[in-house]
């Protein structure tokens, strides 16, 4: 075995040992996967299986002169369909400019690698997506990046004050500070306190050199008027430097758009490597995205989102009381979902519902055997000790589906509790018997 092979094998073996080795799902199970109830994909509005969207897409494909490929990088080919979608999206999202990327990952990686300049600082929520980390790592702010505790305004305030104390450029406005957050966090289903972060920036940075960048990957299509996202819902369009909307989740397409100023757009066109050195989205991709945005504009998506929220409420209403008899270490909901009374705009339920458990794989397998697909999520995707089964509800799920899911979670937990009781009794009996034997022997 070559030295390289040995090292790669050792790394994979180590992951295997720690039960964190990633694997693609078996292709043989792919067909049965479609028969499973989907509690896993990010297809929140079930648009991927919408006959209306499919019909619209096929018909537009048929009518379009350009369908296949795109011919090259945006900087080298005509890209008429791309420019036209950008114009449409800038208007739809009420943004000065829009720029397409091949994926949300590319957009974040490209943006954060090139926009922060020498002397600038990047601050991000500790749960920020991997693509932001990759971008910042490649940027001139690589040695000036800091995280704050998840959604914690006090932690962010402390960090910003410390940075202002240490870096004169931030005080006199010669340097810039970027704050990266997700409007809805993909693993926790929690909302960033966007309005409060904007207020904090305005309070601490009177020179207006703190810039908020919001990743709306998981809120696109679901929140805000016509599914325009949380920034639009809160009316903060003019308070953020950039917003990212991805097409691969609720919109059942591929690609992403960065909404920003014309200057930042122009800079990205010149410096964002994942945009410059790649073949742009194919025309078919653009047509698919156009069709999905039709669904947002014509109100279909809003109806689907309302239905989705009803399902979320129903699921939590039936699960919460039944969890009370289960040890929280075995299965619990995260604090923001403990009680419907505690829910405010920030703690409102979302379609992402983490079922916290110390045994995510056995729970996920149990659900799979009952015909439900909800994936286990473990470290390093989530912090150590925060393992979970990530449940994602979809507009296409039924009330019966979510009731079946609640039944499955509870029956699994009850079986484990029973098993643990039996095991304890067996140990107790063995201990009593051992004690009795000792007693009897002492009488002999
Ligand atoms: C918060 C967030 N941002 C960006 C991305 C990347 O988007 P895409 O799937 O379009 O590359 C994802 C997807 O995993 C995500 O969850």
For residue 247, which atom of ligand 1 is closest to its CA? Answer: 10
The DSSP code for 318 is: H
Structure tokens that stand for 409 in this block: 């979670």
DSSP element (H, E) containing 294: helix 283-297
Write out the DSSP string of 284-335: HHHHHHHHHHHHHHTTHHHHHHHHHHHHHHHHHHHHHHHHTTS-TTTSB--G
Pocket of ligand 1 (CB under 6 A): 103-105, 108, 129, 131, 182, 186, 215, 217-218, 246, 248, 256
Structure tokens that stand for 79 in this block: 């890209």
Candidate from 101, 103, 104 with most ligand 1 atoms within 8 A of CB, to mutate: 104
Q: Which residue has the tokens 């067996």?
A: 426
Candidate from 44, 102, 124, 131 with most ligand 1 atoms within 8 A of CB, to mutate: 131
Length of the chain equals 444
* Tens-digit pLDDT profile for residues 420-435: 888 888 888 888 887 7
Fold classified for 25-44+300-416: 3.90.1150
- The arithmetic mean of pLDDT across residues 280-308, rounded, is 96
CA-closest candidate to residue 252, choices 91, 83, 396, 136: 396
Position 162 pLDDT exceeds 60: yes
- 3-class secondary structure, 177: strand
The mean pLDDT value of the chain amounts to 93
- The arithmetic mean of pLDDT across residues 72-87, rounded, is 92
Structure tokens that stand for 377 in this block: 């999520």
CA-closest candidate to residue 187, choices 39, 390, 400, 435: 390
pLDDT of amino acid 30: 47
- Are 25-44+300-416 and 52-297 the same fold in CATH? no
In CATH, the architecture of 52-297 is 3-Layer(aba) Sandwich (3.40)
Domains of the chain by residue range: 25-44+300-416, 52-297
* Cβ atoms 69, 282 nearer than 8 A: yes
**Ligand 1 atom 15 nearest Cα:** 217
Residue 145 Cα to ligand 1 midpoint, Å, equals: 20
Position 372 pLDDT exceeds 50: yes
Structure tokens that stand for 66 in this block: 């350009």
- The arithmetic mean of pLDDT across residues 256-268, rounded, is 98
pLDDT of amino acid 416: 93
Instruction: Collect all residues with Cβ–Cβ distance below 8 Å to 134 and sequence separation of at least 6.
Output: 105, 108, 109, 112, 113
pLDDT of amino acid 213: 98
Position 410 pLDDT exceeds 50: yes
Residue 218 Cα to ligand 1 midpoint, Å, equals: 8
* Tens-digit pLDDT profile for residues 12-53: 999 999 888 888 876 655 445 568 999 999 999 999 999 999
Candidate from 107, 124, 248 with most ligand 1 atoms within 8 A of CB, to mutate: 248
* Tens-digit pLDDT profile for residues 91-130: 999 999 999 999 999 999 999 999 999 999 999 999 999 9
Residue 343 — very low, low, confident or very high, per pLDDT cuts 50/70/90?
low
Residue 273 — very low, low, confident or very high, per pLDDT cuts 50/70/90?
very high
């Amino acid at each position: 075995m070559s030295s390289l092979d040995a090292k790669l094998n050792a790394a994979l073996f180590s992951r295997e040992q720690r039960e964190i080795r990633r694997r693609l799902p078996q292709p043989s199970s792919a067909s049965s996967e479609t028969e499973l109830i989907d509690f896993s994909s990010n297809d929140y509005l079930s648009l991927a299986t919408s006959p209306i969207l499919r019909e619209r897409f096929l018909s537009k494909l048929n009518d379009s002169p350009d369908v296949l490929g795109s011919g090259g990088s945006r900087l080298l080919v005509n890209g008429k369909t791309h420019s036209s979608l950008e114009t449409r999206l800038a208007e739809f999202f009420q943004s000065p400019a829009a720029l397409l990327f091949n994926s949300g990952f590319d957009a974040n990686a490209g943006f954060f690698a090139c926009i922060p300049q020498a002397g600038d600082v990047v601050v991000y929520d500790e749960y920020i997506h991997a693509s932001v980390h990759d971008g910042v790592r490649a940027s001139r702010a690589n040695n000036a990046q800091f995280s704050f505790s998840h959604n914690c305004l006090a932690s962010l305030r402390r960090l910003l004050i410390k940075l202002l104390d240490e870096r004169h450029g931030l005080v006199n406005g010669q340097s810039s500070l970027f704050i990266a957050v997700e409007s809805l966090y993909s693993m926790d289903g929690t909302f960033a306190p966007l309005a409060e972060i904007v207020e904090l920036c305005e309070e601490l940075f009177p020179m207006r050199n703190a810039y908020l960048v919001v990743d709306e990957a998981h809120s696109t299509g679901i929140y805000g008027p016509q599914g325009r996202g949380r920034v639009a819902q809160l009316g903060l369009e003019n308070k953020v430097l950039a917003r990212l909307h991805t097409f691969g989740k609720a919109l059942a397409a591929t690609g992403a758009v960065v909404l920003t100023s014309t200057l930042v757009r122009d800079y990205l066109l010149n410096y964002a490597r994942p945009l410059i050195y790649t073949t742009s989205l194919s025309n078919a991709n653009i047509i698919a995205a156009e069709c999905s945005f039709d669904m947002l504009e014509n109100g279909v998506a809003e109806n689907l989102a309302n239905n989705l929220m009803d399902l979320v409420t129903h699921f939590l209403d039936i699960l919460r009381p039944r969890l009370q008899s289960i040890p929280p270490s075995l299965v619990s909901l995260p604090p923001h979902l403990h009680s419907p009374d505690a829910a405010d705009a920030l703690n409102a339920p979302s379609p992402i519902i983490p079922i916290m458990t110390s045994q995510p794989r056995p729970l996920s397998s149990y659900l799979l055997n009952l015909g439900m697909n909800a994936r286990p999520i473990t470290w390093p995707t989530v912090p150590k000790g925060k393992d979970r089964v990530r449940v994602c509800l979809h507009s296409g799920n039924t009330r019966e589906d979510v009731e079946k899911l609640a039944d499955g979670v509870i029956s699994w937990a009850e079986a484990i509790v029973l098993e643990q009781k039996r095991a304890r009794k067996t140990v107790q009996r063995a201990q009593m018997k051992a004690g009795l034997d000792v007693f009897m022997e002492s009488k002999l």
